[in-house]
């Protein structure tokens, strides 16, 4: 009984899998978005946040060494 159920599940997966593969392969790439958001704006905020975090860590380490 266990062999039969295992065989049926395996067979069903083999029968269904090509449909999913075909749909993934057949799709063309999406067209480029003409109104894409530039990386520059977010990158500046990320750089500023990283610098602030680094300054905070340096300040905290300096205080911990003085104590």
- pLDDT tens across 16-55, in order? 877 776 655 666 777 777 776 666 667 788 899 999 999 9
In a domain, 58, yes or no: yes
Q: Which domain holds residue 21?
A: 2-28+38-66
In a domain, 14, yes or no: yes
Rounded distance, CA 45 to CA 27, Å? Answer: 36
In a domain, 49, yes or no: yes
The confidence score (pLDDT) of residue 58 equals 94
The confidence score (pLDDT) of residue 49 equals 93
In a domain, 61, yes or no: yes
In a domain, 45, yes or no: yes
In a domain, 33, yes or no: no
**Which of the two residues, 37 and 63, has the higher pLDDT score?**
63
Domain count, the chain: 1
**Which of the two residues, 59 and 24, has the higher pLDDT score?**
59
The confidence score (pLDDT) of residue 37 equals 64
Helix (H) or strand (E) holding 13: helix 2-26
């Amino acid at each position: 009984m266990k062999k039969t159920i295992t065989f049926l599940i395996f067979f069903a997966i083999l029968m269904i899998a090509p449909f999913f593969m075909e749909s993934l392969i057949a799709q063309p790439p999406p067209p480029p978005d003409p109104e894409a958001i530039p990386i520059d704006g977010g990158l500046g905020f990320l750089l500023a946040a990283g610098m602030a975090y680094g300054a905070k860590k340096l300040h905290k380490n300096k205080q911990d060494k003085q104590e």
